[in-house]
Amino acid sequence: MQRTEAASLSLYAAVTEATVTACREAVIHLPADVRRVLEEAHARESNPVAQGELANILADLACAEEHLVPLCQDTGVPVIYLTIPPTVPLTEELYDAIRAGVRRATAEVPLRPNVVDPLTRANSGDNTGEGMPAIHVRPGDSLSITVLPKGAGAENTSQIAMLLPSQKDKIEEFVVKTVLAAGSRPCPPLVIGIGIGGTFDGAAALAKEALLQPIDRMDPFEQHLCDSLNTLGIGPMGLGGDTSVLAVKVKKGACHTASLPVAVNVQCWANRRATVVVEAD
């Protein structure tokens, strides 16, 4: 019994520490693929104002890394993906450990306390609360914590449509209308996650999870959507230019024969994410 309790405590501590590390990494260091796409956009941008805005973004990334501070004042709400192998039991202690990690990260990184009650607007002060952090569990070969910070400016412009199977050719139109309506609010250039299929809630989950994929490569369908969105001319920070969208990533799921859910999860240029593998005795 003593050995079991010791192992549990060790796992709890390791998951908490991994959560803190992933939160810190996600808000300070932009993933290499996202940085690379931003640099490429800056190099090919023909609009001087847009090129200047992209230069400002790259300078911001360098400043954040030099001073080890968050690259954006909106550190978002913590969306967390817990990847768990069959050898590790899924217990409430794991959820508690992740919540403890978010509380620590809020104080230590620091993260802006963004989580409030939806009606009273009372702030928890530590980015936890009912349903927060949002924790999604996925099976895998190793235990890991992935953090996807999600700011409100982009999240507020996300949309879902319950299309009919006969409206498959309307997917592109819906995506374009969503990004056009978003305009400058989500701090473009954007990364667009699209979920196709599943259920009403499942499509939204697919769209958000699509943002975890590398953005420096797209399949032909994703590239086509990206090219269509870049004809809108919104440009970096909504000031015009060639680059309104950095990438489009699509994740599909099987759905009912009579439905075609499509969700668009809008992400700002700071497509922040980090994964830490948990190591415990």
136 inside domain? no
Q: Is 75 helix (H, G, I), strand (E, B) or coil?
A: coil
97 inside domain? no
Q: Let me know: does 98 contact 133? Beta carbons within 8 Å.
A: yes
Amino acid code (one letter) for 246 = L
Amino acid code (one letter) for 55 = A
pLDDT per position as a tens digit, 168-192: 999 999 999 999 999 999 999 999 9
215 inside domain? yes
User: Rounded to an integer, what distance in angstroms lies between the CA atom of residue 198 and that of residue 214?
Assistant: 22
Residue span of the structural domain in which 250 resides: 153-267
Q: Is 235 helix (H, G, I), strand (E, B) or coil?
A: coil
219 inside domain? yes
Q: For CA atoms 39, 41, 47, 53, give the dihedral sign.
A: negative
pLDDT per position as a tens digit, 43-96: 999 999 999 999 999 999 999 999 999 999 999 999 999 999 999 999 999 999
66 inside domain? no
Task: State mean pLDDT over 1-18.
Answer: 70
Domains in the chain, number = 1
pLDDT per position as a tens digit, 244-254: 999 999 999 99
User: Rounded to an integer, what distance in angstroms lies between the CA atom of residue 203 and that of residue 259?
Assistant: 11
CA neighbor of 15 nearest in space, from 137, 143, 188: 143
Q: How confident is the model at residue 4 (pLDDT cuts 50, 70, 90)?
A: very low
256 inside domain? yes
Q: Let me know: does 20 contact 110? Beta carbons within 8 Å.
A: no
69 inside domain? no
**Structure confidence at residue 279 (pLDDT):** 81
